[in-house]
Amino acid sequence: MSLLGRIRSSLETYGHPGRDSFEYLGLTVRDGELVSYRVYENPTPGVAEELRGRLPYRLLLGSLLSRFAAAGGVRVCDISESLAGTRERFRLVFTLDRSLSHADVELLLEAFFENLTLPAIAGALRRDAGALARRFDMSIQPLQQIGVETDIHANVRIVKYYLNLTLDTGRRRVCDRGFIDHLKNAFEVNLEPQAGSLLEIAKHRYRPVFVGINQDAESCERKLYFKSDAFGRQIEHVLPMSESLAERLGWEQVVSKEDLRALHELGLYLEGIASTLGRKDEWRLYFAYLPRWRIPGS
């Protein structure tokens, strides 16, 4: 099935009225090729309740993360399952209130890691968050989401955390040379090969909003997430920007201008872009619904 055919099919599954759980369509592009395709779903209340009954979530919420999950300022934002190859993966991510203080977050992290026995990852998280806050001179703590991905037995395979990059006022920063230098120094990663692409994204009015980090026992993957600066009625003008970006960053082999226009006709626009830090040609493209749009005819 063509990419557009798959997308249409996904929209019919996730976007119908009554089960309007579609959040994002995510395309991972590596070296100019499509390597994965995923629909991000907001779990509807029924689905979320059903998932909570599954063993990994019972273990996570009932014992492993019970103190953390019950704490004030914490709420579940993603509860989902997926396949990694032939193995099921269970994902549970929490959102932290932006108003929490550094001290509050430190207490929450102690609660989060107390039963996971992942001291190295806990240390890495504290180091990343601290470095980011220092480099970007943040007075508000940067951790906005934290979660895990487990196997069927609730063995944690990956710890995920998302560090906010917005200003203390909630407004977004601009990705310029200084921003890239701060990011490079905070994470001690070589961003020079991809600096030009990041600046190109910024030129097309996408602004950095957070860094998403996947830590497992062996490796660490960091992604810088950009979100379109357009809001309200300006979103209608994102299409030419995304067409230009596709051409400049070499995504056209995967998502041509015609595809982008067809997606626009389906009511989708390129709202977010993630760039894997340290990998020049790895991107994830996030398509969201345009305002007022749903499946045509629904």
Partner 1 sequence: MGRKQVWKRTLTLASSAAVLTAGLAGCTNKVEKITTCIAEQNYDEALDFYRAKVKDKDREELAEALRAIVLELPERFAADEIDYEQARRTLDTIEAMHLGTLSEDLLVVRAKIQALNTSKQAWLTAEQAYADGDWLTAAESYRRVDPLDPHYDDAVEKIEQSFAEYEAEVLAQVDELTAGDNYDAAISLLQEAIPNLEDAAALETRLEEVTAAAEEFRLAAARRAALEEAEAEASNGNLEAALGILERFQTESGDSNAELQAVHDQYVEDYVNQMLPQLLALMDRGDYVEALEMLEHARQVAEAEEFDALLADLEAVRPVYLSDLRPEDRDRFEEIKTGLDPKDTAGNSYRIASGNLFQLNATNGSWTSEPGMVEYVLNGSYSRLCGVVAVSDESDSVTSELTIEGDGEVLYTLPLSVSTEPTTVSVDISTVNSLKIQLAVPGNEGKLIAILSGFYLEK
Q: Which stretch binds partner 1 (CB under 8 A): 81-89, 102-110, 165-173, 174-182?
A: 165-173
Compose the 256-285 pattern: x for residues touching partner 1 by CB under 8 A, - for all others.
Answer: ----------------x-------------
Residue nearer to partner 1 on the CB measure, 182 or 227: 227
Q: Per DSSP, what are the bridge partners of residue 283?
A: 29, 275
**Of 184, 183, 159, 158, which Cα lies nearest the Cα of 173?**
183
Compose the 90-109 pattern: x for residues touching partner 1 by CB under 8 A, - for all others.
Answer: -----x--x-----------
How far apart are the C-alpha atoms of 273 and 175, rounded to whole Å?
13
Instruction: Pull the structure tokens for residue 83.
Output: 């396949």
Q: Is 31 in the site for partner 1 (CB under 8 A)?
A: no
Residues listed for the chain? 298
Residue 156 is inside which H or E element, if any?
strand 156-164
Query: Which residues ranging from 54 to 83 are in contact with partner 1 (CB under 8 A)?
Result: 77-78
Taking the complex as a whole, how short is the minimal distance between the CB of residue 117 and partner 1, in angstroms? 28
Q: Tokens 């030129």 — which residue? A: 203
Residue nearer to partner 1 on the CB measure, 5 or 232: 232
Q: Is 153 in the site for partner 1 (CB under 8 A)?
A: no
- The full DSSP string for 68-121 is HHTSTTEEEEEEEEEEETTEEEEEEEEEE-TT--HHHHHHHHHHHHTTT--HHH
Q: Is 236 in the site for partner 1 (CB under 8 A)?
A: yes
Catalog residues that contact partner 1 under the rule CB under 8 A.
Answer: 23, 77-78, 95, 98, 145, 166, 170-172, 209-210, 225, 227, 231-234, 236, 272, 291-292
